Amino acid sequence: MTKQILLSTPHMGDREQEFVKEAFDTNWIAPVGPHVDAFEQEFCQVVGAKHAAAVSSGTAALHLALELTGIQRGDEVFCSSLTFIASASPITYLGAKPVFVDSDRTTWNMNPDLLREALEKRAKLGKLPKAVLIVHLYGQSADIDPILAACLEYEVPLVEDAAESLGATYKDKSPGIFGKIGIFSFNGNKIITTSGGGMLVSDDENIVARARFLATQARDPAPHYQHSVVGYNYRLSNVLAGIGRGQLQVLEDRVNARRHNFETYQQALGKLPGIEFMPEASFGRATRWLTCLTIDPAAFGADREQVRLELGKQLIEARPVWKPLHLQPVFAECESIGGAISEELFDRGLCLPSGSNLKQEELQRFIDAIDRIHRR
């Protein structure tokens, strides 16, 4: 029986069960407790943030981040177009509107020149967005310096969605700590996981304290359950924070394993006509959370969908690169600044099996399958 090869599956280390057992032994089975506090502190050390709040998902973290940036009904937020829907949904939770910005070819992330031009135009119209939300896609940081410089010049706050890029670097620092607020995700398919969870980070202690307050139903300091604003139930469970503490200890191993997958694929397939791997930008280390490539159908002899479907028949899961958000039916009314690059990446882009627990035989099975498709 052939075993199915999946895109990205959870990969536990040695310590997670110990931490979970400790939560059981001490009866801290609640969205509060010592693992939550320790996970926040340890996470800060890993990414170099000053303060962090552990929450129930990356989406929840982003919702809080945007609310704490002051986004309100009717506001506009500039957002990367080439990303997962969860980058933009929280904009709409607040009644604000996303405006999508295209990618550049070297990073696949938001194009800094396009952003600067758009901000310049909007400044002249007196219609600057209330925030810029950049995404660090597939384990690679966006080119943060020019983006931050443009945001500073026009005094628009920067929020970073680093859900896919824990473990990456931008000039030796972690993406997610440059903007006003950054967020990370520990969903089941991410580089480390708590089954579900997220983290909000900021250098501003008040923002993080406010995030914790809003994430626990915004309870005023009174014994009788008094509320002056509406909050959320977004805190991370102490049990899951235990898993997170164990996972943090193996993050570096997970990055190395995913980079090894990439190198194996690239060595074997990089010279095939029409195949191009996602480039690694010179400013830092990509984790290769997912190995991605593009297929030029004329040169390769099959298009992305043909390849993906053929792989599926051989029980190998591969997925198209994110459908750009400016092409999503739900955002049909939203403005898009550029779009041709992300459209082409979507058209030709494929995400390969990339789990840190893939075996050499499984990588080889993928390589052989692509070779066969190419030779036909």
Please give the residue ranges that form the binding site for ligand PLP (CB under 6 A). Answer: 57-59, 83-84, 86-87, 135, 161, 163-164, 185, 187, 198
CB of 270 to ligand PLP, least distance (A): 25
Name the nearest CA neighbour of 196 among 31, 81, 365: 31
Query: Which C-beta is closer to ligand PLP: that of 188 or that of 273?
Result: 188
* CB 243 to ligand PLP: min, Å: 14
Report the distance separating Cα 62 and Cα 55, nearest Å. Answer: 10
Distance CA 188, CA 81 (A): 23
Comparison of 91 and 208: residue with beta carbon closer to ligand PLP: 91
Tell the smallest beta-carbon distance from residue 45 to ligand PLP (Å): 21
d(CA 221, CA 232): 16
Q: Do strands 51-55 and 76-80 pair parallel, antiparallel, or not at all (unpaired)?
A: unpaired
Q: Which is nearer to ligand PLP, 40 or 362 (CB)?
A: 40
DSSP letters spanning 143-168? -HHHHHHHHHHTT--EEEE-TT-TT-
Cβ proximity to ligand PLP: between 56 and 238 the closer is 56
Nearer to ligand PLP, 79 or 151 (CB): 79
- Rounded to a whole number of angstroms, the minimum distance from the CB of residue 193 to ligand PLP is 9
| Residue closest to 334 by CA, chosen among 94, 64, 79, 8 | 79
From residue 152, alpha-carbon distances to 136, 139, 180 in Å are 19, 25, 11
User: Helix 360-375 to helix 251-269 angle, to the nearest 10 degrees?
Assistant: 30
- Residue 360: what residue type? Q
Give the nearest distance from C-beta 84 to ligand PLP in angstroms: 4
The residue count for the chain:
376
User: Helix H segments across 301-359?
Assistant: 304-313, 340-348
* Minimum distance of ligand PLP from residue 302's CB (angstroms): 28
Q: Looking at beta carbons only, is 82 or 151 nearer to ligand PLP? A: 82
Residue nearest to ligand PLP (CB): 58
Q: Per the structure block, which two tokens stand in for 162?
A: 């680093």
